[in-house]
Amino acid sequence: MRLRTLTLAAASGAALLAAGVLPAHASAGTTRTAPASAREGSVSAADLLAKVTSCSQISNGKYRTDDETSATVPVCGKNGAVFWKADMDIDCDGQTTTNCNHSRDPWYQNDTAFHQSDGKPLRAESLPYIVVPSSSSIWNYSSAGIKGGGVVAVIYNNKVEYAVVGDTGPTKIIGEASYATAKALGIDPDPKTGGADSGVTYILFKNSRVSPIESHSAAVSLGDQLAKKFLADN
């Protein structure tokens, strides 16, 4: 997890003008080298967003989106899920790869809070995952039914990408996802200058867990089921 400054956040605005190329789906049951096209599953972004237009705040306070911003983002509760609306900073932590390493990412760390089924850290370059704030007096994610490997619907620019809870970050900052998540949503994934300044919705489904955590196809399958249930229950 990095603490992106306002200077880098501003730089990402220009980067967002360039459209990303969305890779193809991988075969079921395999670990993919690139995230799938960002209309995953059968539930539309519009239908999901229609259920999160108002916030019933469950956090004891609010989060900042970057190190130098004020705290404006609450964690909100719904039936079967929690959600927040924030920016997206790029997390490149975990296994060292071509685009996620010390030379490409000045904040790089070679570990993630949650690990693959073989015990290795996650691969930010190929696995869509998000970062949750470490537990604090503001909010305790585990007490809210959020687990490592839990399914998340990440929505941006009318696109839906299913990810997993893969890492934890600072206790007062929210809004971060892996290189692969950003790329799938057409967001510049560069860990230095990429990301989105706003407009990202994160819907985390309670008491869910993808097994194995590194199988994105399993996340999409379970995510689609949980998204349908979310629409029915809210």
Q: Which amino acid is at 219?
A: A
Closest CA to 227 of 209, 210, 207, 203: 203
Residue 217 lies in a domain: yes
**30, 24 Cβ separation under 8 angstroms:** no
Residue 220 lies in a domain: yes
Residues forming beta bridges with residue 115, ordered by sequence position: 121
CATH of the domain at 164: 2.40.40.10
Is pLDDT above 60 for 6? Answer: no
Instruction: Dump pLDDT digits (tens) for 103-155.
Output: 999 999 999 999 999 999 999 999 999 999 999 999 999 999 999 999 999 99
CA distance 181 to 106: 19
Q: What is the pTM of this model?
A: 0.85
Residue 78: per-residue pLDDT = 98
Residue 229 lies in a domain: yes
Instruction: Dump pLDDT digits (tens) for 62-99.
Output: 999 999 999 999 999 999 999 999 999 999 999 999 99
End-to-end CA gap in the chain: 32
| Residue 202 CA to its chain's centroid (Å) | 7
**220, 36 Cβ separation under 8 angstroms:** yes
Residue 187 lies in a domain: yes
Domain that holds residue 57: 6-233
**87, 197 Cβ separation under 8 angstroms:** yes
Structure tokens at 110: 């070679």
Instruction: Dump pLDDT digits (tens) for 154-210.
Output: 999 999 999 999 999 999 999 999 999 999 999 999 999 999 999 999 999 999 999
| pLDDT tier, 221 (very low <50, low <70, confident <90, very high otherwise) | very high
Q: How many domains does the chain have?
A: 1
Residues in the chain: 234
Catalogue the long-range contacts made by 142-148 (C-beta closer than 8 Å, 24 or more residues apart). Answer: 144/58, 144/75, 144/77, 144/82, 144/206, 145/82, 145/206, 145/207, 146/82, 146/204, 146/206, 147/207, 147/208, 147/209, 148/113, 148/114, 148/209, 148/213
Mean of all residue pLDDT scores within the chain: 88
Residue 100 lies in a domain: yes
Residue 1 lies in a domain: no
Residue 39: per-residue pLDDT = 67
